[in-house]
A and B are shown apart, each in its own frame.
Chain A
């Protein structure tokens, strides 16, 4: 009966906790790991420390973002422009890619094309090996996370050091990132202190958990690596087709170190990260920092075009990565997910992400955008569903469809509509299954009951018995199979003590003056407080609602 909601629950390997410090071992597939979302979410919700860390971090960043977005009078016009520019990029992608390649090449860069993760990793590994080094420094990059580059380099005997503070924390802990922007958002300062002391090797013994001290320990640890590095690897936030210019947006200066000091720079960029003209940067460099870190501008942005003689790396390689992007592009609704500029605003406003954290999504792209991007990138044939047995098929259900992500998205990706589209795709993919699912059976049974007034009345009466199961708490946590499929992912409110039919009969057929309203309404008024017998039908439920729902909704700030 695991298929009651059309929601796949097949396990993909057993979730483990045997990582030395991190809860997540390194996956073979960075876009498909861990338990399914419903299972992983249940486990994450039981971790009080994780929820505290996430609640604090997401509420802090939401407030910062709201303040700096609120002061921009033309924010909506910037979003409209950003959305349209990205739409144009997708429509004109082949010509823009060729133009970028031509301009990077003309300025002394070397452009490589990679169909998938394996090919991209092979290209990067060969370049590093040709330089004769076994150590590289890395700028935080989603694209290289997505292809599992660090693991591929390690297999070839090349040590890749992450230099972004949060990525360093994640790497030292042998953990996985849980947020696009702040990969160690699930860690608090005391946990970070412990990770540094146990794993960094040169952390001061008297290190405290003050963020400043922790940051200075990272500075000292990485300084020598920066000055000695021969090869650096980065991603790119934007690539300008018209000029061949690439942009990396960062805060700490680790990006500048990697992009400037080594002799060789390798940049891995998804084919969708283009903008047509240099001037288009005026839109995105306003949208990105305010949406991302909640700053008017991030501390450092680096722009470079090929090789500049005498300044910075004298050898530059650009790896253009497909890895499922053309598959996503073939879905004419889903392709809007490729507009994403990886700001992570949608994660910070999502009531689901805030409670379960990033690991539950089983992909390096978590949160609302991850719930659409991951299934699109990893799907089967273009435009078709993943199929019932693919755990990523459950990701579009990891949402309440509240719409907060759409409002926050700087390039106006309609994530809720994409989620619904992808749910439909999965349901359609399941239609030709020969064994009827629990969902089909339940719908058929409901149809029989609801088509006949007498049968429906009987069913209503039977449901009242459910109050016994619910007990004093007023909701049902677990029902026996097959109904357990419903309660496995949500609580069921207790049925009302009185059915609507009974209430109507009492109201309209009972002797005048009879009290019918107190019944079934906890704390409902006595007859003396209910002067008009028709009014309380609307007031009584609303007056009781806040008391019954408060315990579950008090943390939700939205």
Chain B
């Protein structure tokens, strides 16, 4: 008998002839009190991000390019996914090298390692937990590009901010097969005496630019 057949047979035998029906109560909050994109929900997200020691910046369509350029003033090389809104990069100094990356034309990992920063968009943000989700679409890019460079500038549109996690999950479940990265602050460890240290293997600095209407 194959391992597969044997394991499944043992599971069936263990459960007995008629398995139980187990109803799942879902009395938990599926929707928060704060409206998606509202000032209150954005304020809650900021509170969480600051707690994680991410750096938060506010921008409008008019000055987002300036905000991004200020954050990248010291970056010689910047990686961007090829679907990123080009206007966000409009104020970068001419000397900055911009490396475009896509699934069909990926940058080698050595180039990512040598780059100073990465700029991406996001799919959704959950205020309650301070979580930003990237789902690998063309404005967010391959998972590697938001991982290897040491500085991650993530532009989140305030309309993408929801209150509770179930709201974010149900939005993501429209495309469950997309590779997702959930980011809640910069990389961190508490493995030494439970003392939190920010910045281990992922980007040590996370800038979140909240782009209002």
**Footprint of B on A, CB under 8 Å?**
53, 56-57, 60-61, 64, 73-74, 77-78, 80-81, 84-85, 87-88, 90-94, 97-98, 107, 112-115, 119, 163-166, 169, 182, 184-185, 188-189, 192, 211-212, 214-215, 218-219, 222-223, 226-227, 240, 242-245, 251-254, 256-257, 259-261, 271, 278-279, 281-283, 285-286, 289, 293, 295-306, 308-312, 320, 322, 326-327, 329-330, 335, 382
The contact of B201 among A53, A97, A252, A278, by CB within 8 Å, is: A252
- 10 residue pairs of the A-B complex, CB under 8 angstroms, read A78-B28, A107-B177, A251-B200, A259-B143, A297-B126, A303-B180, A309-B103, A310-B106, A326-B14, A330-B10
Evaluate contact between A256 and B201: CB separation under 8 angstroms.
Answer: yes
Closest to B196 in A: A211
Binds A, one of B57-65, B71-79, B86-94, B168-176: B168-176
Evaluate contact between A73 and B29: CB separation under 8 angstroms.
Answer: yes
Contacts of A281 in B (CB 8 A): 169
- Known contacts A94-B8, A113-B7; 7 additional CB pairs below 8 A are A77-B25, A77-B27, A98-B8, A259-B143, A282-B168, A299-B188, A303-B180
Distance from A278 Cβ to chain B, minimum over Cβ atoms (Å): 4
A329 to B16, CA, bound (A): 10
Contact A279 B170, CB 8 Å, known A219-B201, A299-B184: yes
DSSP majority for the B interface? loop
Evaluate contact between A215 and B189: CB separation under 8 angstroms.
Answer: yes
Q: Is B185 an interface residue (CB 8 A)?
A: yes
Closest to A168 in B: B191
Distance from A465 Cβ to chain B, minimum over Cβ atoms (Å): 49
Evaluate contact between B15 and A296: CB separation under 8 angstroms.
Answer: no
Contacts of B166 in A (CB 8 A): 279, 282
Contacts of A164 in B (CB 8 A): 191
Contacts of B102 in A (CB 8 A): 310
Evaluate contact between B25 and A115: CB separation under 8 angstroms.
Answer: no
Contact A74 B28, CB 8 Å, known A256-B201, A302-B180: yes
Q: Is B147 an interface residue (CB 8 A)?
A: yes
The contact of B24 among A60, A84, A219, A256, by CB within 8 Å, is: A84
- Which 3 A-B residue pairs are closest in the complex by CB-CB distance? A310-B103, A253-B202, A253-B201
Evaluate contact between B13 and A330: CB separation under 8 angstroms.
Answer: yes
Contacts of B110 in A (CB 8 A): 227
Q: Is B205 an interface residue (CB 8 A)?
A: no
Contact A252 B187, CB 8 Å, known A113-B2, A311-B179: yes
Contact A81 B26, CB 8 Å, known A282-B170, A296-B48, A326-B10: yes
Distance from B102 Cβ to chain A, minimum over Cβ atoms (Å): 8
Distance from B177 Cβ to chain A, minimum over Cβ atoms (Å): 4
Contact A330 B8, CB 8 Å, known A57-B193, A77-B28, A296-B130: no
Q: Is B12 an interface residue (CB 8 A)?
A: yes
The contact of A94 among B12, B21, B113, B180, by CB within 8 Å, is: B12
Contacts of A94 in B (CB 8 A): 8, 11-12, 15
**Footprint of A on B, CB under 8 Å?**
2-4, 6-8, 10-15, 19-29, 48, 51-52, 102-104, 106, 109-110, 113, 126, 128-131, 136, 142-144, 147-148, 165-166, 168-170, 172-173, 176-195, 197, 199-203
- Between A60, A77, A80, A260, the greatest number of chain B beta carbons within 10 A of the residue's beta carbon is seen for A260
A323 to B154, CA, bound (A): 43
- Count of CB-CB pairs between chains A and B under 8 Å: 256
Contacts of A78 in B (CB 8 A): 28
Contacts of B170 in A (CB 8 A): 279, 282
Contacts of B28 in A (CB 8 A): 74, 77-78, 81, 283
Contacts of A185 in B (CB 8 A): 194
The contact of A297 among B172, B182, B187, B189, by CB within 8 Å, is: B182
Closest to B6 in A: A115
Closest to B190 in A: A293
Evaluate contact between A113 and B180: CB separation under 8 angstroms.
Answer: no
Evaluate contact between A311 and B188: CB separation under 8 angstroms.
Answer: no
Evaluate contact between B25 and A81: CB separation under 8 angstroms.
Answer: yes
A112 to B2, CA, bound (A): 11
Closest to B202 in A: A253
Distance from A314 Cβ to chain B, minimum over Cβ atoms (Å): 11
Evaluate contact between B27 and A74: CB separation under 8 angstroms.
Answer: yes
Evaluate contact between B194 and A61: CB separation under 8 angstroms.
Answer: yes
A20 to B148, CA, bound (A): 35
Contact A322 B7, CB 8 Å, known A279-B170, A282-B169: yes
Distance from B180 Cβ to chain A, minimum over Cβ atoms (Å): 4
Evaluate contact between A256 and B143: CB separation under 8 angstroms.
Answer: yes
Evaluate contact between B14 and A165: CB separation under 8 angstroms.
Answer: no
Evaluate contact between B11 and A329: CB separation under 8 angstroms.
Answer: yes
Contacts of B188 in A (CB 8 A): 251-252, 299
Contact A85 B24, CB 8 Å, known A57-B194, A211-B195, A326-B7: yes
Evaluate contact between A169 and B191: CB separation under 8 angstroms.
Answer: yes
A182 to B192, CA, bound (A): 9
Evaluate contact between A165 and B192: CB separation under 8 angstroms.
Answer: yes
Closest to B169 in A: A282
A339 to B206, CA, bound (A): 35
